[in-house]
């Protein structure tokens, strides 16, 4: 018997899918660019997106690099707003990042 899928697994998979679609990549291309064997790349990414499996941290780092998102985006627990802020912050210009940090330190 397989393990039961948790909400966290489903959320993780949904964030991966969101980032992949935003990057304009197919499941297969994402997998290949992240170093997954081409023969299983599509299936593996599909299982990650469905929350059936979760990759190890090294694979997560590779996926994040290919997708141009911070690793933390995938793990922001139960809060889509924080995940979105992490994503936006990672893509912001240095000046905007400084302004955000200043605002949050007040």
Domains belonging to the chain, first-starting first, are 7-105 (1.10.260.40)
CB atoms inside a 10 Å sphere around CB 42: 17
pLDDT band at residue 75 under the 50/70/90 scheme = confident
**Distances in whole angstroms, Cα of residue 23 to Cα of each of 18, 37, 66, 102:** 9, 20, 9, 30
82-99 mean pLDDT:
90
* Alpha-carbon span 45 to 16, nearest angstrom: 9
Q: What confidence tens digit (pLDDT) does each residue in 8-63 have? A: 888 899 999 999 999 999 999 999 999 999 999 999 999 999 999 989 999 999 99
pLDDT band at residue 78 under the 50/70/90 scheme = low
């Amino acid at each position: 018997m397989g393990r039961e899928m948790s909400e966290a697994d489903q959320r993780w998979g949904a964030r991966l899918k969101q980032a992949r679609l935003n990057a304009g990549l197919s499941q297969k291309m994402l997998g290949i660019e992240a170093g997954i064997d081409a023969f299983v790349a599509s299936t593996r990414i599909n299982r990650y997106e469905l929350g059936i499996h979760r990759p190890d941290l090294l694979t997560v780092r590779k996926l994040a690099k290919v997708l141009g998102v911070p690793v933390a985006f995938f793990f922001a627990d139960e809060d889509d707003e924080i995940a979105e802020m992490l994503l936006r912050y990672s893509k912001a210009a240095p000046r905007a990042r400084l302004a955000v940090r200043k605002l949050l330190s007040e």
